[in-house]
Amino acid sequence: MEQQIFLKEFNLLPPDAQREVIDFISFLYTRYNCAPKKSNDSLTADETFFGMWKDREDMQDSQKWLRKIRESQWTQRNE
């Protein structure tokens, strides 16, 4: 019940005051070290780009791929 009252009161505040409340809650999370743990999987798994290059053979070794791209760019600049 208290959550409903809080939400009602929060929604009555002007947008600037709502941002202050949100900032204060973030500050309290930091102060009391109780920020919710976020999984890396949940941050990207729902994104449309996630896994878009999984079937590309040239992307199996990303360091090799990046080295090749950089070398081609550097060679073009030096010519």
The pLDDT tens digits of the residues spanning 38-73 come to: 555 556 667 777 777 777 787 778 888 888 888 888
Q: Quote the Cα angle for 6-12-18, to 5°.
A: 75
Residue 4: strand, helix, or coil: helix
What is the amino acid identity at position 74? Answer: W
Give yes or no for residue 21 having a pLDDT over 80. Answer: yes
Would you put residue 51 in left (φ > 0), alpha (ψ -120 to 50) or beta?
Answer: left
Residue 27 token pair: 């500050």
Where in the chain are the domains?
A: 1-37
Residue 10 token pair: 């929060």
Residue 55 token pair: 């079937």
Give yes or no for residue 35 having a pLDDT over 70. Answer: no
